[in-house]
């Protein structure tokens, strides 16, 4: 197997003098650094891909004496485990990235919303926080960082539910607008970024946007961590340049018998073999928070789809109709078709329903259930029906 994929080594690079980087940014000035972020083309690594520089700029420019910085470490997408790796191996870079954000936007308090199952990382993180807080105090920056633990709901990774959960409410998405950048934690302007995003801002502070931009493609700049699992020859977390095709990915990681790759987890897309060569992993193709699940020909795509739908039926927050009831109908619907209780044509009704869910749901969860559903039904219809 020819290895053509460009591996990068930025996130887990051993040494980073965070203190010196912070001083540099302070010398450079807030606006200049925001410009650096914008120039770098960095987009959020949590999945939604919002330009990070723009997010920070909006919060910086919003008038409020209280602002917050929140790190989304809820990592709940099935098949994603790269934030855990970052928090284990590069916790300093995360907390410094948050301090950087706080300095830029003018926040004095921050929180890491940590997936409940990652409680064991708490001590490590607290030590990193203490170290960072002591150093920045010496730089004259006043920033306090705290840990908050999630309770196991996937939906609490969605930023507005995360903020609701932090405030002690039911973890349910709220209407957008208002967006967290204007009306976030406790109604104050809030930066919410993924773990990996914060680390990337530190990398940009270190190497500069010009160097950073050299990685990746025009639409997807920089490198990205991928959580590789499934029927593959090597699994784990890999830092790769963005913009590769699924074909290139499969050649490196597949077991030689790859039938499909689920890019982006349960809420992502299923790419069948015939599409490998012309599907780009990145914002111009299929964006991903990092989850790459490889399936070989021994797998039943029906089982895979059913598994995702069971997940969504449970993990929908349940507040909006298209998602709460739609997920149940999709699951029961494919089961009924499989058992021949409904005709094959019922799948077409379900595809229409998936379309409604995509357009009418309140948040990203309901809107993305249709991704996996549609891509599996359309590409593996015979496996669902027979």
Partner 1 sequence: MNNTVNITINGTPLQVAEGTTILNAAKMLNVHIPTLCHHDDLCVAGNCRICVVEVKGDKTLVASCATPVKEKMEILTNTQQIRQARKHILELLLTEHNINCIKCSKSNSCELQTLALEYRTDEELFLSLRRESNPDMSSYAIQKDSSKCIRCTRCVRTCAEIQGVNALTMSYKGMHTIMTTFLDKPMSEVVCTNCGQCINRCPTGALIERNYIEEVWDAIYDPSKHVVVQTAPAVRVALGERFALRPGHRVTGKMVAALRSMGFDSILDTDWSADLTIMEEGTELLSRLKKALVDGDASTALPMFTSCSPGWIKFIEHIYPDFLPNLSTCKSPQQMFGALAKTYYAEKKGIDPKNMISVSIMPCTAKKYEANRPEMRDSGFQDVDYVLTTRELASMIQQTGVNVNTLKAENYDSIMGASTGAAVIFGATGGVMEAAIRTAYEIVTGREVPFEKLNIIPVRGFEGIKEASLRLEKVKPEWDFLEGVELKVAIAHGLANARNLVQAIKDKKVEYHFVEIMACPGGCLGGGGQPIPTNVEIRTARMEAIYKEDEKMPIRKSHENPEIKAIYEEFLEEPNSHKSHKLLHTYYTERNRY
Ligand X SMILES: Cc1cc2nc3c(=O)[nH]c(=O)nc-3n(C[C@H](O)[C@H](O)[C@H](O)COP(=O)(O)O)c2cc1C
Task: Tell me the window of 96-104, 120-128, 185-193, 345-353 that interacts with partner 1 (CB under 8 A).
Answer: 345-353
List the one residue from 40, 45, 165, 184 that touches ligand X (CB under 6 A): 45
Task: Tell me the window of 96-104, 139-147, 156-164, 328-336 that interacts with ligand X (CB under 6 A).
Answer: 156-164
Q: Does 324 bind ligand SF4 (CB under 6 A)?
A: yes
Q: Residue with structure tokens 């903020």?
A: 163
> Which of helix, strand or coil describes residue 50?
coil
Residue 147 contacts residue 114 (beta carbons within 8 Å): yes
Q: Does 353 bind partner 1 (CB under 8 A)?
A: yes
Minimum distance, C-beta of residue 345 to ligand X, in the bound complex (Å): 31
Q: Does 223 bind partner 1 (CB under 8 A)?
A: no
Q: Does 322 bind partner 1 (CB under 8 A)?
A: yes
List the one residue from 197, 245, 258, 329 that touches ligand X (CB under 6 A): 197
Beta bridge partners of 113: 72, 148
Q: Does 284 bind partner 1 (CB under 8 A)?
A: no
Cβ distance to ligand SF4 smaller for residue 63 or 175: 175
Cβ distance to ligand SF4 smaller for residue 79 or 171: 171
Beta bridge partners of 228: 236, 292
Structure tokens at 337: 């078709």
Q: Does 168 bind partner 1 (CB under 8 A)?
A: no
Residue 186 contacts residue 167 (beta carbons within 8 Å): yes
- Cβ-in-10-Å burial (0-12, 13-18, 19+) of 297 comes to exposed
**Residue 192 contact partner, candidates ligand X, ligand SF4, partner 1, none, CB within 5 to 8 A by sort of partner:** ligand X
Euclidean distance between CA atoms 172 and 8, whole angstroms: 37
Q: What single-letter DSSP state applies at residue 155?
A: G
Q: Does 192 bind ligand X (CB under 6 A)?
A: yes
Task: Please report, for residues 69, 110, 170, the alpha-carbon distance to residue 25 in angstroms, rounded to integers and kept in the order given.
Answer: 18, 19, 38
Contact characters 275-294, ligand SF4, x per CB under 6 A: --------------------
Contact characters 298-317, partner 1, x per CB under 8 A: --------------xxxxxx
Euclidean distance between CA atoms 110 and 105, whole angstroms: 12
Beta bridge partners of 262: 270, 293
- Other residues' Cβ atoms within 10 Å of the Cβ of residue 178: 13
Q: Does 386 bind partner 1 (CB under 8 A)?
A: no
Residues in the chain: 386
Cβ distance to partner 1 smaller for residue 4 or 175: 175
Minimum distance, C-beta of residue 173 to ligand X, in the bound complex (Å): 7
| φ, ψ at 280 (rounded to 5°) | -95, 140
Q: Which residues bind ligand SF4 (CB under 6 A)?
A: 155, 173, 316-320, 323-324, 361-363, 365-366
């Amino acid at each position: 197997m020819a290895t053509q994929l460009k591996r990068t080594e930025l996130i887990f690079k051993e040494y980073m003098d965070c203190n010196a980087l912070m001083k540099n940014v302070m010398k450079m000035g807030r606006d200049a650094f925001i410009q650096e972020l914008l120039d770098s083309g960095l987009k959020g690594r949590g999945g939604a891909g919002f330009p990070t520089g723009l997010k920070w700029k909006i919060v910086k420019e919003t008038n409020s004496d209280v602002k917050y910085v929140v790190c989304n470490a809820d990592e709940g997408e099935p098949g994603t485990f790269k934030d855990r790796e970052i928090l284990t191996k590069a916790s300093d870079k995360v907390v410094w990235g948050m301090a950087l954000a706080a300095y830029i936007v003018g926040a004095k308090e921050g929180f890491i919303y940590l997936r409940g199952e990652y409680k064991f990382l708490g001590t490590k993180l607290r030590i990193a926080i203490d170290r960072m807080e002591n150093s920045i105090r010496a730089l004259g920056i006043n920033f306090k960082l705290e840990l908050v633990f999630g309770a196991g709901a996937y939906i609490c990774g969605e930023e507005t539910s995360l903020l609701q959960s932090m405030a002690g409410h039911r973890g349910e998405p709220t209407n957008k607008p208002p967006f967290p950048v204007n009306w976030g934690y406790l109604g104050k302007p809030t930066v919410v970024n993924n773990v990996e995003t914060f680390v990337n801002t530190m990398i940009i502070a270190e190497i500069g946007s010009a160097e950073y931009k050299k990685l990746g493609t025009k639409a997807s700049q920089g490198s990205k961590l991928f959580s590789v699992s499934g029927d593959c020859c090597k699994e784990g977390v890999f830092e790769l340049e963005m913009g590769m095709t699924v074909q290139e990915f499969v050649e490196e990681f597949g077991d030689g018998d790859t039938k499909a790759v689920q890019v982006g987890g349960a809420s992502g897309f299923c790419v069948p073999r015939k599409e490998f060569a012309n599907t780009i992993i990145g914002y111009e193709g299929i964006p991903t928070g990092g989850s790459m699940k490889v399936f070989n020909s021994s797998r039943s795509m029906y089982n895979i789809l059913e598994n995702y739908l069971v997940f969504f039926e449970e993990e929908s927050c349940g507040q909006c109709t298209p998602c709460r009831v739609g997920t149940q109908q999709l699951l029961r619907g494919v089961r009924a078709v499989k058992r021949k209780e409904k005709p094959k044509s019922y799948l077409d009704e379900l595809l229409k329903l998936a379309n409604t869910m995509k357009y009418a749901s309140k948040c990203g969860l309901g809107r993305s259930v249709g991704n996996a559903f549609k891509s599996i039904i359309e590409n593996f219809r015979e496996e669902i029906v027979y």
